[in-house]
């Protein structure tokens, strides 16, 4: 009897884990883009009050099992809010560049300012805990509230600008 109960409980645990994985949203360029657009609408409506919601580790802007998130920068470019690396908050990122010399925070601002619908920037950056760089692409969009302009962004690894051009042929993609 005890053995049957333990087997039943173990079975339920396995089914629960499988079901959670099946229904969890996977990180994708489309999901990054959708979340940035939703975040910019929230910022346009609420201003800086939206930042706490965007930063909330349990909120809708931490997605794909925690792999996806939204950061906010200004046009200087200074990091306003980074939910994964709060040590970046308040830092001037204008000189931060990838292995190929792309000043990607400058590029984020350029593509966002030039395209009302937002755009993509591809660059090389190490994955968390890695030393070697990997391709990364981020979608960014400009938003204004009360005369202040912000750029919201979200990105993912192992996707290139060429991949984005195929998936989103009408979207702006930064060319260095």
Looking at residue 25, its pLDDT comes to 78
Domain ranges of the chain: 26-173
What pLDDT sits at residue 137?
98
The predicted structure's pLDDT at residue 149? 98
Tell me what pLDDT residue 176 has: 78
Enter the pTM of the model: 0.86
Cβ burial 29-51 (10 Å sphere, 16+ → b, else e)? bebbbebbbebbebbeeeeeebb
pLDDT for the residue 3: 55
Residues 6+ apart with CB under 8 A from 100: 123, 124, 176
Q: Residue 50, preceding bond cis, omega within 30 degrees?
A: no
Number of H helices, E strands in the chain: 5, 6
CA angle 30, 35, 39 (to 5 degrees): 150
CATH class of 26-173: alpha beta
CB under 8 A, 24+ apart: contacts of 48-51: 48/145, 51/80, 51/81
Q: How many other C-beta atoms can be found within 10 angstroms of the C-beta atom of residue 11?
A: 10
Name the stretches of the chain with pLDDT < 70.
Answer: 1-24
């Amino acid at each position: 009897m005890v053995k049957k109960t333990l087997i039943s409980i173990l079975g339920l645990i396995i089914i629960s884990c499988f079901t959670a994985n099946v229904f969890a949203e996977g990180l994708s360029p489309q999901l990054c883009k959708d979340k940035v657009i939703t975040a910019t609408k929230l910022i346009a409506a609420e201003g800086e009050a939206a930042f706490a919601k965007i930063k909330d580790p349990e909120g809708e802007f931490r997605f794909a099992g925690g792999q996806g998130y939204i950061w906010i920068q200004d046009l200087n470019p200074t990091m306003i809010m980074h939910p994964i690396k709060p040590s970046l908050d308040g830092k001037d990122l204008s000189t931060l560049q990838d292995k190929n010399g792309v000043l990607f925070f400058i590029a984020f601002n350029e593509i966002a300012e030039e395209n009302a619908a937002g755009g993509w920037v591809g660059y090389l950056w190490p994955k968390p805990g890695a030393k070697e760089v990997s391709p990364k692409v981020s979608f960014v969009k400009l938003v204004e509230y009360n005369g202040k302009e912000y750029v919201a962004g979200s990105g993912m690894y192992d996707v290139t600008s060429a991949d984005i051009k195929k998936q989103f042929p009408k979207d702006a993609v930064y060319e260095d």
